[in-house]
Amino acid sequence: MRDATSRFPENGRRRGCSHRADQILEPLRTVAFAAETETDSQPARSDETTSGDMIYRRLGRTGERVSVIGVGGFHIGMQKDEKESIRIIRSAVDGGINFMDNCWDYNKGESEVRMGKALRDGYRAKSS
């Protein structure tokens, strides 16, 4: 049986990813590893697909294919440095996460602004 550290080399660190971003993403890696371990022993759902390390499912009747792990936007507006928020979101997208939640009311709109900036430069298309 593999463990989470062998699954994610160098403890999951990506180039340009801060230590704080690693701390935030580590629980996601653990959940992804647990989901993978669970699906290894059980038949996959008929609506599940995988790409790389990420598992995707259809979202209700929309037909959209979303990652089983999402990124909530509430915490994105809390970092002192906006660049750290952007690194967190982009690291998630690089890891295959395309399911993100946000609201105009999170941190007086700052979470939406930061997520919007993170999805610039081709990251919006990459998350589709």
- If DSSP states are collapsed to H, E and C, what string results for 59-99? CCCCCCEEECCEEECHHHHCCCCHHHHHHHHHHHHHCCCCE
Q: Report which of residues 124 and 1 the model is more confident about.
A: 124
Mean pLDDT of 53-65: 91
pTM: 0.63
Residue among 33, 56, 106, 123 flagged as catalytic: 106
Mean pLDDT of 79-86: 94
56 is catalytic: no
**Contact 53/36 with Cβ under 8 angstroms?**
yes
Domain carrying residue 23? 4-126
- Structure token digits, residue 89: 């979101």
Please say if the pLDDT value at position 118 is more than 80.
yes
Please say if the pLDDT value at position 17 is more than 90.
no
pLDDT the model gives residue 44:
62
Total domains in the chain come to 1
Residues 6+ positions from 99 with CB-CB distance below 8 Å: 59, 66, 67, 68, 69, 70, 71
